[in-house]
C-alpha cells in the first residue's frame, strides 16, 4: 500500500500542503515523496536556525491526528488499521525522530522510486528534530480491510461508521476517549511533550428570537474531551504543554467551504449564500469556556 494514498487524489490538499498537484506529474506518488523530502529538510533547517538564534527556543511540528481503530478483531482489519496510521505517522516519525522509518524506505525500494537525496540531507534531518508535537484532534475513525469506503476529502481509505460512538452532522465521529488514546499513543511513540492545538465541534448553530445561541452540544463535546485530556496527564503520565480549542470565532470551514459549519464561541452573522453583516455575538459556550480557562480547567 502507498503510505499516503489520499493526497494524489485531492488537489485541494496538494495545493494547501505543498503547492503541488501530484496528478499533473508522470509519477504522482514518487513526486509526492520527493516534495515531502524537501519539506522535511526545510523543516529541519528551520529548527537548526531557530536554535542558533536562541538556544532556549522550542520548535514543534504539527500533526492532524485521527486515530484509526480496526473495525473488528479480525487480524486483517487490525493490520489494515496499523498500516493506515503510517499515513499520518510518516511525517512526525521523520520530524521527531530524525530519520526515515523502515516502512518508508521499503516502500521506495518496492515501488522503484528514485528519491533524490542530496549530500548532507540525512545529517540535517538528524540534527533538526523538533522539540515537541502539536496536534489537532476532532475525531477517530474505524477502518476495515475489505468493504469500507473513503474518499479524497475524508482521506480515510476503508473507513466505516463506528457503531459505538455518535457522529456530527458531517459524519465526524465524536470520541472523547479517543483523545486520551491519541495522547497516549503519541507520547509513548515519541517521548516528547505534546500540545493539543485544535479541538472543537462543528455544528449548525441556531440564533433564538432573543439573540441567544444555546450551543450546549459544543459545551458537552469540549467538556468531555477536556476530562479525558486530564486523565491522560494524571493517570497515563503524558507530558502535555497545553490545550487550545478550535476555534474562538466562526470562520469558513476549510474542509467544506461552509459558513454554516460553525466551531466558534463567537457567532459571526455570515451565511453560505453570502448574506450577513458579519456582526458578532457571544454563544453560551463563550461564558462557559471563559470560566474553564479562568479556573485552569477545574470548573467544567
Q: 231 near 180, Cβ under 8 Å?
A: yes
Whether residue 193 has a cis bond before it, omega within 30° of 0: no
Among 29, 107, 157, 198, the active-site one is: 198
107 is catalytic: no
* Nearest alpha carbon to residue 225 among 170, 289, 295: 289
How far, CA to CA in Å, does 191 sit from each of 90, 181, 207? 16, 15, 45
How far, CA to CA in Å, does 162 sit from each of 71, 88, 110, 142? 7, 20, 33, 6
Q: Which residues are catalytic?
A: 198
Amino acid at each position: 500500500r502507498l503510505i499516503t494514498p489520499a493526497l494524489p487524489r485531492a488537489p485541494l490538499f496538494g495545493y494547501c500542503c505543498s503547492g503541488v498537484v501530484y496528478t499533473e506529474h508522470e509519477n504522482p506518488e514518487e513526486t509526492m515523496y520527493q516534495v515531502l523530502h524537501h519539506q522535511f529538510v526545510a523543516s529541519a533547517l528551520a529548527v537548526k536556525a531557530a536554535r542558533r538564534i536562541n538556544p532556549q527556543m522550542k520548535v514543534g511540528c504539527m500533526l492532524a491526528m485521527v486515530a484509526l481503530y480496526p473495525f473488528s478483531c479480525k487480524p486483517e482489519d487490525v493490520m489494515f488499521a496499523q498500516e493506515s496510521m503510517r499515513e499520518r505517522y510518516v511525517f512526525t516519525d521523520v520530524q521527531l525522530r530524525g530519520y526515515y522509518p523502515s516502512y518508508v524506505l521499503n516502500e521506495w525500494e518496492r515501488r522503484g522510486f528514485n528519491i533524490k537525496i542530496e549530500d548532507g540531507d540525512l545529517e540535517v534531518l538528524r540534527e533538526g528534530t523538533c522539540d515537541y508535537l502539536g496536534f489537532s484532534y476532532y475525531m477517530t475513525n474505524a477502518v476495515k480491510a475489505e468493504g469500507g469506503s473513503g474518499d479524497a476529502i475524508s482521506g480515510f481509505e476503508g473507513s466505516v461508521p463506528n457503531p459505538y460512538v455518535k457522529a456530527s452532522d458531517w459524519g465526524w465521529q465524536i470520541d472523547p476517549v479517543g483523545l486520551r488514546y491519541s495522547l497516549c499513543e503519541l507520547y509513548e511513540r515519541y517521548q516528547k511533550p505534546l500540545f493539543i492545538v485544535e479541538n472543537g465541534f462543528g455544528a449548525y448553530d441556531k440564533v433564538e428570537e432573543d439573540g441567544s445561541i444555546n450551543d450546549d452540544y459544543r459545551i458537552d463535546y469540549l467538556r468531555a474531551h477536556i476530562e479525558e485530556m486530564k486523565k491522560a496527564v494524571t493517570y497515563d503520565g503524558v507530558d502535555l504543554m497545553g490545550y487550545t480549542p478550535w476555534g474562538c470565532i466562526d470562520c469558513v470551514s476549510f474542509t467544506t467551504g461552509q459558513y454554516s459549519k460553525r466551531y466558534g464561541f463567537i457567532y459571526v452573522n455570515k451565511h453560505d449564500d453570502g448574506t450577513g453583516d458579519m456582526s458578532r455575538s457571544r454563544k453560551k459556550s463563550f461564558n462557559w469556556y471563559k470560566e474553564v480557562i479562568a479556573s485552569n480547567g477545574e470548573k467544567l
